[in-house]
Amino acid sequence: MRFRDLKKKKQLQDKKEKNEQSKVHYANYTDRIKAFITDMFMIYAPILYIITYVFLDGKEDFQSSQIAPFIGVSLYGFIYAILLTKLAQTPGKKAYTIKVVDDKSLKNIGFIKALWRFVAFLFTATTLLGLLLPLYRKDKKALHDIMASTVVIVE
């Protein structure tokens, strides 16, 4: 094949990929918030309940413990990362038909990237600035999405 033909073929392929990426529908900010709240009730609340009433003696022990909340958040982050790795969505995201995928390939992310996204989310949640970023971006990425190279799309 001639170089000119190869170059033309590459340009057509790039154009096709660009058209596929432009068809991506980004998730609404309100749906992301609703999915997060749903996940808190479906995943995090049961974890806290089990820690408080199965492993500890009740509310007072949980409130006086410094390690119990850390274990709860760590366990939630681990479950969150597993769900994003295997299914690209948590129960809350599934309820609102949204997925977390890699921003370039639009495929499921790996476990380390999902765990990093969760840690970055904890950081951005403390500043609040990173959580408001999707309101001002066309691709609706929050700061933790930018840090992890992910995007939340409609399924």
Task: Provide the pLDDT for residue 10.
Answer: 76
Task: Provide the pLDDT for residue 60.
Answer: 95
Indicate if the pLDDT at residue 8 is higher than 80: no
Indicate if the pLDDT at residue 128 is higher than 80: yes
Indicate if the pLDDT at residue 27 is higher than 90: yes
Task: Provide the pLDDT for residue 83.
Answer: 97
Taking the C-alpha atoms of 142, 112, 103 and 77 in order, what is their torsion angle to the nearest 10 degrees? -40
Task: Provide the pLDDT for residue 24.
Answer: 87
Q: One-letter amino acid identity for 17?
A: E
Which residues does 31 contact at the CB level (< 8 Å), separation at least 6? 96, 98
Indicate if the pLDDT at residue 15 is higher than 80: no
Indicate if the pLDDT at residue 7 is higher than 80: no
Q: Which of 2-11, 54-63, 73-82, 129-138 has the weakest average pLDDT?
A: 2-11
Three-state SS at 155: coil
Task: Provide the pLDDT for residue 117.
Answer: 97
Q: Residue 101: which H helix or E strand, with range?
A: strand 98-102
Angle formed by the axes of helices 111-127 and 67-86, nearest 10°: 130
User: The pTM is what?
Assistant: 0.82
Task: Provide the pLDDT for residue 21.
Answer: 55
Task: Provide the pLDDT for residue 33.
Answer: 95
CB atoms within 10 A of CB 76: 19
